Amino acid sequence: MANLQTSFLGIKSPNPFWLASGPPTDKKINVLRALEAGWGGIVWKTLGTQIKNVSSRYSSYNVYGRRIAGINNIELITDRPLELNLQEIREVLKLFPDRAMVVSLMTDNNRKSWHELVKKVQDTGAHGLELNFGCPHGMVERGMGATVGQDPEIAKMIVEWVMEAAEIPVITKLTPNVHSVVPVARAVIEAGSQGLSLINTIQSVTGIDLDTLIPNPNVAGSSTFGGYCGPAVKPIALKFITTLAQDEATRNTPISGIGGVTSWKDAVEFILLGSWNVQVCTAVMLSGFRIIRDLCDGMNNWMDEKGYRNIDDFRGLSVPKLTHWEDLDINYHIVAHINQDKCIRCGLCYIACEDTSHQSISKEDGIPYNTYTIKEEECVGCNLCKMVCPVEGCISMKEQRKGAEYLNWKEFQKRGMPLNDH
């Protein structure tokens, strides 16, 4: 059995799965249920300034007949009294002292407010603070949330205020509503933030009711840009996290990975790209806290099969494998191969290649089943056929190098080798 325990800035948890700040972590009753189910830690829903929520608050993007590829929400930070939250945090800490308890914070942009909030929260005995510089709706219009996270100067200033008062580890949560998270990450690290977490939600419109023409979610006939999360945002999250793992100034700062983690495989990927742990929200909103069992079990089995004993053993291992396009090996060439014994003659590879790729698949008409074969000389190795094929392992990509040596674009160009020759 592999060891799933993690220590994030010294905050221990029995597994790398924390619940992200959000609806599942806004009060004791939920949080206790989550911890009973086995979650490793909690980031308590953002405490801070006074707010008032609207109704409705969520909407989803559904695709291919499946519900919730992504959710967007226009809910704000906690709308319960601060003292009640603090009291409940104390109670939970007493009941589950072995789990990570981090509290998310956001307040008005002045030193006094931040100092007061930080002190009150760390008085509860919480293990860490997460600064919400990412919320992209509502709070933004009041100069908080993503407004802070989009401006390195403001972010740096607030982290400095926080660090003046903080006696426990500080994690800054970053917004993806920027072209790059690196400048803000550098600024908050410089200001003293010990950890980073990302991504927060992405501004979005999930869809429109085609009868009323009102976008979702509908609040009395109007809507507003909501924060998008869930499986659909995972690829974007992985990219942002990788950019921090690649940057000199940010790569040594522990990252808590967030963004569409739904299965243990997603979590492994976040860790392979440099996360120290992961945070989950949408997946539990969809299926409940019980999903923790397979998250842990699946990761454990994978680690056993791969021979990894600890989470740290595989953290960041895929980072060096993400490089610049110009460093890729141009001599590497693959062509598709269709295993006729596995092929179910659906023709999806054919039409994808014929209509949108390189017309590299030939069709021999049959009744009722056609036979599809690859025209190797035409195939550019794009993977599209393999991706659309409904049968795992039916289409494989076979290596047919164009040359034995590694040859990248810069070298290719230097040698004056032929361009646009396909």
Partner 1 sequence: MMAIKNNRLTTEDYNEAFSDIHPPFAHDEGAILEANRCIGCYDAPCTKFCPAGIDVPLFIKQIASGNIKGSARTIFRSNIMGAGCSKVCPVEKLCEGVCVFNLLKEEPIRIAKLQRYSTERAMQEQWRLFERKAPTGKKVAVVGAGPAGLACAHALSLEGVDVTVFEKEEKAGGLMTYGIAAYKVTPEFCKEEVDFITSLGGIDIRLGTELGRDFTLADLQEKYHAVFLGIGVGLTRSLDIPGEKLHGVVDAISFIYDLRTSGYANVAIGDRVAVIGLGMTAIDAATQSKRLGAKEVTLIYRRSKHEKPCTDSQLDLALLDGCSIIWLASPKEIIGENGTVKVLICNEMKLGEPDLTGRRIPVETGKTFVVDVDMIIKATGQEPYEELLSELFIRNRDGKIMVGGEAETNIPGVFAGGDAVTGGKEVVNAVEDGKIGAKAILAYLGLGSEIK
Q: What is the DSSP letter of 339?
A: -
* CA 233 from centroid of its chain's CA atoms: 6
DSSP calls for 133-169:
----SSGGGGT-THHHHT-HHHHHHHHHHHHHH--S-
Choice from 133, 264, 289, 350 touching partner 1 (CB under 8 A): 350
Nearest Cα to 6, choosing from 100, 73, 118?
Answer: 100
In whole angstroms, how close is the CB of 368 to partner 1 at the nearest point? 4
8 Å CB contact between 184 and 152: yes
Span near partner 1 by CB under 8 A; candidates 41-49, 165-173, 234-242, 343-351: 343-351
Told to check if 64 binds partner 1 by CB under 8 A, we report: yes
Instruction: Give the footprint of partner 1 on residues 386-405 (CB under 8 A).
Output: 390-391
In whole angstroms, how close is the CB of 66 to partner 1 at the nearest point? 7
Q: Which alpha helices (DSSP H) does 47-193 contain, by range?
A: 82-95, 111-122, 146-149, 152-165, 182-190
Radius of gyration of the chain (CA): 24
Told to check if 351 binds partner 1 by CB under 8 A, we report: yes
In whole angstroms, how close is the CB of 339 to partner 1 at the nearest point? 13
- Tokens representing 35 are 């911890």
DSSP 3-state assignment of 391? Answer: coil
In whole angstroms, how close is the CB of 137 to partner 1 at the nearest point? 29
Span near partner 1 by CB under 8 A; candidates 158-166, 191-199, 300-308, 362-370: 362-370
- Rank residues 286 and 346 by Cβ distance to partner 1 and give the closer one: 346
Told to check if 320 binds partner 1 by CB under 8 A, we report: no
Q: With contacts defined by CB under 8 A, how many residues of the chain interact with partner 1?
A: 18
Active site residue ranges: 135
In whole angstroms, how close is the CB of 347 to partner 1 at the nearest point? 3
Backbone angles phi, psi at 159, to 5 degrees: -60, -40
Choice from 348, 380, 382, 397 touching partner 1 (CB under 8 A): 348
N-terminal to C-terminal alpha carbon distance within the chain: 51
Q: Angle at the Cα of 127 (from 125 to 129), degrees rounded to 5? A: 105
Choice from 65, 221, 320, 416 touching partner 1 (CB under 8 A): 65
- Rank residues 308 and 372 by Cβ distance to partner 1 and give the closer one: 372
Q: Which amino acid is at 122?
A: Q
Told to check if 344 binds partner 1 by CB under 8 A, we report: yes
Told to check if 345 binds partner 1 by CB under 8 A, we report: yes
Integer Cα distance of 242 and 200 in angstroms: 15
Instruction: Give the footprint of partner 1 on residues 135-194 (CB under 8 A).
Output: none
Say what angle helices 28-37 and 292-306 make with each other, to 10 degrees: 40
Instruction: Give the footprint of partner 1 on residues 19-58 (CB under 8 A).
Output: none
Span near partner 1 by CB under 8 A; candidates 70-78, 243-251, 299-307, 361-369: 361-369
Residue 187 Cα distances to 74, 105, 172, 385, angstroms: 28, 18, 11, 44
Nearest Cα to 80, choosing from 53, 102, 54, 41?
Answer: 53
Integer Cα distance of 43 and 172 in angstroms: 12
Choice from 80, 363, 402, 410 touching partner 1 (CB under 8 A): 363
Choice from 97, 310, 340, 369 touching partner 1 (CB under 8 A): 369
Q: Which residues bind partner 1 (CB under 8 A)?
A: 64-66, 344-348, 350-351, 363, 365, 367-370, 390-391
